[in-house]
Chain A
């Protein structure tokens, strides 16, 4: 099972672009990379998912290099409400199983 490693914390000012990188060196062929956002006392909220190359939706972009051993979540023009913990999760597409949630990255956005 792929173990993930992310920076523990990051700081940013409002309006800046934030990039959070996650390493998952032993990712398997059937694994997808999924990013979640969690606010205190709430369940994680799905942000974006990808398998390879680049994926973009209305809230974020996800960059995955060819070897898939890392991924970068890009949040454009963050606001104060983006202050949260962000988790990178490697999910097996056959079972939906993901043992290691990792420690996540605590993002603090300030004015």
Chain B
């Protein structure tokens, strides 16, 4: 099956610093990738949709200047949490769709802890 790699799996940072999370589709070309956030014991909440070569589309309530998304190639999308604060601590998960687009394949997730 399709494999999506997400890195790092766990990151701890100081408040005010920026953190970059990478999402790669290893064995297929992902024209579209998605970024989710999941708080403890809650469901996944879609943050943004990223299409290769174009600006990401953010869901309502998600700050685009705080969560920078870049989808520079068909196999890589990055999420940068800028000036992270403790309330940004969460589990961030990416997914990717290839062709056909009806199945999202998910990465293993990144646990972000902001001190």
Q: Which residues of A are interface residues toward B (Cβ below 8 A)? A: 32, 34, 36, 41-46, 49, 87, 89, 91-99, 101-104
Q: Are B43 and A101 in contact (CB under 8 A)?
A: yes
The answer to whether B12 has its CB under 8 Å from any CB of chain A is: no
Q: Are A41 and B102 in contact (CB under 8 A)?
A: no
Query: Could you count the A-B residue pairs with CB atoms below 8 Å apart for me: how many are there?
Result: 69
Q: Are B46 and A96 in contact (CB under 8 A)?
A: no
Set A43, A45, A99, A104: member contacting B46, Cβ < 8 A:
A99
Q: Are B109 and A42 in contact (CB under 8 A)?
A: yes
The answer to whether B106 has its CB under 8 Å from any CB of chain A is: yes
B31 to chain A minimum Cβ distance, whole angstroms, is 8
Interface hits, B58-115 → A, CB 8 Å: 59, 91, 93, 95, 97, 100-109, 111
Interface size on B, residues (CB 8 A): 27
Q: Are A91 and B102 in contact (CB under 8 A)?
A: yes
Q: Which residues of B are interface residues toward A (Cβ below 8 A)? A: 1, 4, 6, 32, 34, 36, 43-46, 49, 59, 91, 93, 95, 97, 100-109, 111
How many angstroms between the C-alpha atoms of A99 and B107 in the bound complex? 17
Q: Are A34 and B104 in contact (CB under 8 A)?
A: yes
Instruction: Evaluate whether A104 and B107 lie within 8 angstroms (CB atoms) in the complex, with A32-B102, A96-B32 already known.
Output: no
How many angstroms between the C-alpha atoms of A89 and B105 in the bound complex? 12
With CB as the reference atom, state the residue of chain A lying closest to B44: A101
Q: Are B101 and A96 in contact (CB under 8 A)?
A: yes
Q: List 21 A-B contacts (CB under 8 A).
A: A32-B102, A43-B93, A46-B1, A46-B104, A46-B105, A46-B106, A49-B102, A49-B103, A87-B44, A91-B103, A93-B100, A94-B101, A96-B32, A96-B101, A96-B104, A98-B104, A99-B46, A101-B36, A101-B43, A101-B46, A103-B43
